[in-house]
Amino acid sequence: MTKAKILRLLIISGITVILDQLTKILVVASLEFGRDIPVIPGFFNLTHVLNPGGAFGLFAQHSGFVRVLFFLVFSLVAVGFILYIYAGIPETHKVLGGGLCLIFGGAVGNLIDRVRMGKVVDFLDVYVGNWHWPAFNVADSAICIGVGVFVYHILFNKMPEQGKIF
């Protein structure tokens, strides 16, 4: 991996982790657990919830040990896989590389919470009427944007022959 790619990874994923952790610190310090603050009434609240499971509450009902073990192992494997893919992307694919950096930073941000608390702080609540999207955070947003970039690239761009991802 070139120095430029390593620097790009450190900057994009580092900013992602810092923003994720700072916003979570602000939420924990200034918003009572379980409380909602309407930002756009009928559509968007700031809230303070802890997610013991994965995306959309996956594994939330399992024991703490099972959750922590599963998500730590899964996160470490995912981080390693993202680094492996990122290393194989040519310099010409900066947007794809940036998307992978967002996924990496988001995974690290949520991994920090899991190691510290065994749960992830979520605080963004999007809803319409009584239908609520599961609460999420900056790390989740970065992961979704990064996955979107990755999927777009796979569907609409030709994968490079040299440095193939798969």
pLDDT reported for residue 164? 52
Q: Is the pTM of this model over 0.75?
A: yes
Cβ neighbours for 6, distance < 8 A, ≥ 6 positions apart: none
Which residue numbers are catalytic? 122, 140
10-residue mean pLDDT profile of the chain (166 residues): values are: 94 98 97 96 96 65 70 86 93 94 96 89 95 94 96 78 50
For residue range 112-137, list pLDDT tens digits in order.
998 898 889 999 999 998 899 999 99
pLDDT reported for residue 166? 45
pLDDT reported for residue 33? 96
Task: Give domain limits for the chain.
Answer: 3-156
